[in-house]
Structure 1
């Protein structure tokens, strides 16, 4: 939708309520629900933001009496929450085979458990997040059963226990990680489900593929560490006297090169050593774009993708640091010496192939 602001010098007065009533229109209600649910706007500020956008973007004046109050905004947020629960409940009752996905994480020293449902029709529905005091199997089972009970409580015109058992009957699979707590959760949930329904039918247990990919990253570190121990020579910067005090037994040369090269040439390196702007200018002169990314050790795919990029840019990295940077600091010299190493480049090829064949397509 386009607006000709030049022809709207004078602001238009607009009401957001239905004619001759105190009820807001459906568009206003949906706007507030999305602001709180998707944009994480507080209920107190919804009306203020609507007023600011109306005045500056659409050149429209809205009477302060027509703006939704904090109480109204929170009421509409609750309405959206109930509608989302109703959608999940209907999916549970209408689908005969549903998988429950559960996973835990920690944010700001607070344990959080998230749930999702995947139906036999291909729907993937988020059930939100729940804060827990501790992440053990009994707590996880209670949280999951309470979730189903809340969904069943929506059907006040029907027997709640019957609805709850129907949902539990249609829940035939659990997906989780391979940790010991989640294995105990699967077993405990399955037993409680069978006792509640009075059946002997076991559920299917699935494990998230992402944890296999996490294993690839951690195991590759061990492989390259053993590989370096069997070499008869130091590779990369490790063969130089001036870098001896920086040598570390906990980090192999391949992973060190990935980390330091991304710090120097990546889009978010450290301020002291980064030369991203000059590197991008050099790539532009070569009629190509830099594919070197940010390094984040806790992201399994980052290592493999960065390795492929460093092998692709190897000759350019050497030329750039060797011939075009007037004065290199110690970290930049480290990247240059590692980039020159054929042995380290072989490691980049091996990790890069994993990116092209396994982690990238995933």
Structure 2
């Protein structure tokens, strides 16, 4: 029934038009149906009559139809549905051919439906969610039509509102991403500059210590703790060494 409540899709508009004409031809002066459950009852009755007609036609066909020919569906061959209904059900479940009819009147909010970002809204959507449904029950048909036309005009305002609602968080995410990328590049540059400064300092002091003798010479020189601190920092952050390993006699 949700599909039938969208006036945006071309196929559904055509269906609604033909359905309205059919109900007028069939019911005459009683074609005006006020409540949704009455529409549903009428559709169920029509579907039941159509199903019976299809079953009567299929009963005269000996050869299996549709997916019943495929052995993969042998468990469903005893199903009480017609071959036509089975094909439609299988195609709908597997391929989802309903297309834009999947985006019914529930895409009015980015919070509730991400499909609202397509910025398309049906008249029924506004009719349901702005509270005019309750008011319209006490109105005449001409007044209801006027209310519906008025609601349709507000679609542009709603579209712009949702565009702004979608654009704001997307712009915030974009700015955050750009800021993180800039910080990342700045950190990489700082790390390279710091590494180059440490390496320059180490080279000016004779390079890294690889033996015990070199370490003894370092500790006996000026500012031994500062020199050792720089050496350990270089090994930890740029050589990924957790400890100072030396060779020689101890």
TM-score interval, smaller chain: under 0.3
User: Scaled by the length of structure 2, what TM-score is found?
Assistant: 0.23
Structure with the largest fraction of helix: 2
Structure with the largest fraction of strand: 1
User: Which protein has the larger Cα radius of gyration, Structure 1 or Structure 2?
Assistant: 2
User: Scaled by the length of structure 1, what TM-score is found?
Assistant: 0.17
